[in-house]
Every structure is written in C-alpha cells, then in structure tokens.
Structure 1
Amino acid sequence: MRLTVRKAVQGTAVFCSLVCLNILYQVSQQGGTEVGGPEFDGSYRHGRRAQFVQEPPDALDLVKTFNAVPGRRPRSAKGGLDDSHQRANASRSLTNVKVSDHNVDQSKSKGKKHRLTNLGDVYISVKTTQKYHQSRVKILLDTWVQLAREQTYFFTDTDDAELQKRTNGHMINTNCSGQHNRQALCCKMAQEYDYFLQSKKRWFCHIDDDTYVNVPELVRLLQQYNHTDDWYLGKPSLKHPIEIVDRENQGVKLAFWFATGGAGFCISRSLALKMSPHASGGRLMTVGEKIRLPDDCTIGYIIHHVLGKRLTVIQNLHSHLEALWLLRDGLSSQITFSYSQYGDKMNVVEVAGFDPSQDPTRLYSLHCHLFPYFKQCESLYKKQA
C-alpha cells in the first residue's frame, strides 16, 4: 500500500512539472513581438494568440487611403473592425470607384495629397514653321491662346520679331529645318520635351499649329488624372497599332500605339521623367532615326514599346484625319479641333450661326461659339433668317 501511495505522489509531481514547463513555454512564445510594436505591420489574425502574417506592402496603403476619405472616421480593431476587415473594406471601396475618380489629383499618391491641377500647371507647346506664322499661328493667337498666353509656347525654325512680341517672348527658334520631314519634326519635338522638363510643370501638352484647344476642357481633363502617375493621354489616328520592322532583330516586327499630334496629346510629369534616358538632350531625334518615323510616332514608340506604358484614349480630341463635319452636337465638351483642305474640299467643323466665307478654317467660329464675349465675334456672327 505504501508503494502505491509513493508512486501516486511521484506521478502527481511529474504531471505538475510538465504543466509548469508547458506554461513557461507558452509564455516565452508570446513574448516575441508586441501587437502594434515597431516590427508589427498592422495585420494579425485572432486566435489563442496573435499569429503574425506577411501581407503585401500596398495593403497598408489601401487602408491609409480608405481612412483618408473626407468624412470617414478611421477604424481599428478597438473600434469594431480588425485590420484584416479594414483592408477588405478599403480594397472594395477603391475597386468600386470609377477610373476618373480614382486618379483625381485630389487623391493621395504615395502618402501625399496634391492640390487640384490648374492652368498654371500645364505646359502647352505648339509646333509650327515660318511658312505658317501668318496663316495659322495668327489664328491661334486671335482665339484660344488668349485664354492661355502664359502657358503656351511656339516652337518654330526662324526668328520673327513681330510674333515674338505678340507671344510675349514665347516664340522659340529651334534652328531646326523648316521642312516637313521626320528629322525636322523630331528636332522640334525634342526641344519641346526639353523645355517642358525645365519648366517643372505637371503636364506636357503638344499641339499642332492647325489645332484649336478648348482650354477650360483641357484643364478639366487633366484634373481627372494624377501627374505623379504615368499618363499618356491622346487619340490614335489608326484603329490598330502601327507595325514596324525591328532593325536590331531581322525578321521581327514591333507594334505599338501612338497619339496623333494633329489631335494633341498630354504626358504627365512622372512619365516624362521616365522618358528622359530615351528623349532628353536630343535623344528623341536618335530614336526617330532608328525607327524612321516622325515625332508623334517616336513619342508613342518610347512610351509604349520601350517603357511599356499604355496610351489612354481621349475621345474628345479631334484631328484633321477625322470627318470633322460630323461633329455638330456637344461642341462645348470637346477638347481639340483641327482642319484641313483636300483640293477644294474643306474638312472643318460646321458651326451654325456664323458666316463660313469669313472663316474658312472655322476656328474663329468655334471660338465665338464657345466664348461669345470676344470682340471679333460680332463681325463673324450671321443672323439666321
């Protein structure tokens, strides 16, 4: 009987020792990292003890963006939602937002809130040549440039004292050729790009000298996109990507999209900076010679093929390659218009109420239709019978 009691006591002691050791082990395991400590990434699952999980870095950014929405009170585990639920709600919230809202300049980008883009943040460059100083540039100066004098620069190939005065010193002689070939066009575009980088502005918008710009609508467009992200806004002239032969790999073809310069295009500063190794300091001309294509195609090649960024198509940009006479309704919401002449046929936007004989290009009529308070509108207006 004594042996049995002794064995029972020994067994109990062994059991108690095992329990104590197990408790000590559990305590030591829980003492590694505190919830919310410097090594904690903010995510955990509920259980007998905190189990730390590795989550993508952008998950926390989603939570921060979600909590940053005006009027929304940040919530934590103590407030009724744990971090995993918070992430899920944030992800759903951002996923359901329209593209234009998600990229609005007022949203957070990389943890910093940006003010809304205004006209002063835009660098508008107009490519022209001496041949068109009077016939084309004069029209632009009489119309839409009046709304963006300080933001618009003209890139030409000769000195012009009269035009230099009218543009308030914004006429830039590139010393490029006046010919309409890829070398001359890329030469001017290269300088447009370099001047934009020096300007420190948010947006680089290229316009041809036969294009009208609805300035308020252009600014409204750019306000929907964040300049700190990579944006290439324009409109292709083809319904398919352009294909070229890869001169470095025999028998291989390259395909890429480009925005036609006739309708105008805009590039965010973030993307423009990424283009620098291929476009700055005259490198754009080198690329143009390599692919043997003009300036707007070269821009598309660098952005789409080299950098792998996509063109965002803006339907409200219109070039002379379209049937412009079909544009009749909703002119005030369009951003750019152009014109061209094929023999005796003019490809122009028809604007009701104005005398076409006084305005063959219809750019004056467009301007007066959009902004009727300008003085020259009185002489162009034709009363309907």
Structure 2
Amino acid sequence: MKQYFVDLHIHIGRTMDGSPVKITAARDLTLANILDECLYRKGINVIGVVDAGSPKVQSDLIRLVEAGSLAPLDKGGLSYLGKAVLILGAEVETREKSGGKAHFVCFFPTLEKMKNFTSVMAKYIKNINLSSQKAEITAEKLFNIVDGLGGIFVPAHAFTPHKSLFGNCAARLTEVFSQRAIAKIYAIELGLSSDTYLADRLADLGGITFLSNSDAHSLPKIGREYNVIDMQQANYEELLMALKREKGRKVTANYGLDPRLGKYHRTHCLVCEKIAGGAPPVLRCEYCGSDKIVKGVLDRLEEIATYREPVSPDHRPPYHYQVPLSFVPGVGRKTVDKLLQCFGTEMEILHSASEEDLEKVAGKKIASLLCLARSGKAELTAGGGGRYGKMLIREE
C-alpha cells in the first residue's frame, strides 16, 4: 500500500475567467491555482473540489483536459501532471420537512457522471452555477439521486450549527434516512469544530469512516485538516474502497484542528456576543441569560450523545491535533514562503522537518512554536459564533 495525503473539501471561488462560483471564497481560489497550491506548496496528493457541479467549473475542467494538465483515469478521478489526483465533488444543501438544513458532498468518478448529476440537480436548484446552493429536496432524495448515478454521498461538516446533519436536522440517522441509505453512507466529514472523540459518542457512527477535510475558502486554508489514506493507487475506485475499508485500503490517520480552534465549538450568545465557558451543554447565555444563541458543536454533541465517553471501534484511526501554519502566532506569509523554499511543502514542514532544521530557517522562537503546534499540545482558547479559537503564547 502507498500512503496519500488527502483533502476532499476545497471550494472554488472563481472560474479561471473570473466568474463567481463560491461567493464567500477568495477570488484567487481558481481550479488551476488549487491544483498548483496542493501540488507545490501543500503536498496534498488527492484533491477533492466540491464545486464541480457548476457548469462553469466543468468548462474549466474541459479546458485543463484539453491543455493536457488533467487526464481522466480509467478508475475514476483525473491525474494532474501525473503527480496528484483530482476527485470531482459537488456540495449541495438540502431541507427537511421539519425545516432543518444540511450540506452534503457528492463525489463522482468522471466528468460525464458529474454532468449527469448537474442535469438532474438543475431541476431543484435556482442557480446551478454557484456553490453549495439550496436544493428543494430532502437529504434522502439527494442520496437516491447520487446513489443512482454511482456516486459517493458524504454528510459535510456534520455537526456545525447552521447547516449540517446533526447540528441542524437530527439527533439520529434514522430521523432523516432509510436503512438502505444508512448502509451506503460510508463516511462523514467531522468539520473543524469536532473530532473523532466527540463524534464517537454517537452510536450511529460506529461503522462509518471519519474524514477530516479543510473546507477551504482560500488557498492558505487548503490542508488545514486532511486525511492519511492507504491505497494501492490514487483514483476514485481506490478512494471508495478506503472509505469502505476494503482490501486493506483505509484511512490510517486524521489530522485536524483541536476542536477548540473551530468557529463553532462552543455556544455563542447573539445578544452579548460572549462565548460559553461553562460545562456543556450551554443552552442559554451564562452571562446575560438570553436564549438567543448559536449552539456550539460541543454543546450539541453533549445534548444528543449516546455515550458519556467516546466508544471508538477497532477500525478507527487516531486523530492528531495540529495547529495549521496560518494559526501559529508570528508565522506570516513571508515565514511560510521561507519554510517552503527550504522544505518543499507544508506536509514536509508538519511531518518531517526537525526542530533544528526549522530553527535554521525561521529562528528559535518560531521553530519552538511550530513544534508545539504540530505536537497537539499548544494552549488554546475556544472559538464560537463564527470566530476561530486561538493559540496562546505564554511569555517566560
């Protein structure tokens, strides 16, 4: 088996001609720039873009295939310059009869299959050219469409408060899906404000593979969370086998933010703007008493958990806490560029570079902070209400 670094949730901000796709994403987050960023700066081997359902993005894909930069693989996915693999995904918003909204990422092996998906979804989405658009269908119906086209159906950022399966729709899978659908949900995405150990407090998820992806809205945020996956080769069929844990293919590690760094980890008061610090679940503001809150991921999970402590199945890989380079105090673009010039990619910086080598490039203080960040032992303050948590520095 070979080991691959995999990030399966990257948005496209603009087409290569400048047309908007993900309105809230950076303008330079084009398909071409994403591929280069992953290959040359991040060291991500398998790249999942989640806006390939847009016909305008599909035009970019055709353009890159015609230019020879992308080449379709026999077993699904597209090879980028023979050095990385692109997996085509589309993020879609569904709505339950109860009013709950959730996001799902739908992956397909080929551009032709993705075009077929787009044709079907155009009946339910007002502007199919834009990202993460609301579809006037339930999650079960979306699953049936994806399954009928031979795709992979993954609940996205499954615990975030506004638009997610467990954060906004249900406490149990059976409240939303049939048993047939549940049997074919091979993976869920944890999201930045959760981790394996929080998610493993839900009995529903014991047989499901966990993914830690970046949900990147800008180039620097690609790879802030990622997966290490064992496969024979990088392609769609191998990825599906890994999610199903078949024939030795599997996710062997999740790397991500400590949930406290996520934007929705704790309950946030919409009146006094304070973030909860008390024992979860906090369902009313501890400071002003208001019930006008955005419920935190930790608080929601405490509310719906099956188990008091995580119960992780034998197949569950370790989750490694890691502070992305962009979160480390004092590490700006110039420092990152210097490190990349020396070590090649962020994966090399995070996994291979010694503290001594880091010190030669960035100085003793930054090297020490980088090692602390990648060890998962940094002191943090919790995020909430759309604000990220922070890594703290204690002056000695």
- Structure with more of its chain in helix, by fraction: 1
What's the TM-score once normalised by structure 1's chain length? 0.29
The alignment's TM-score, normalised by the length of structure 2, stands at: 0.29
Ranked by relative contact order (alpha carbons within 8 Å, sequence separation 6 or more), the top structure is: 2
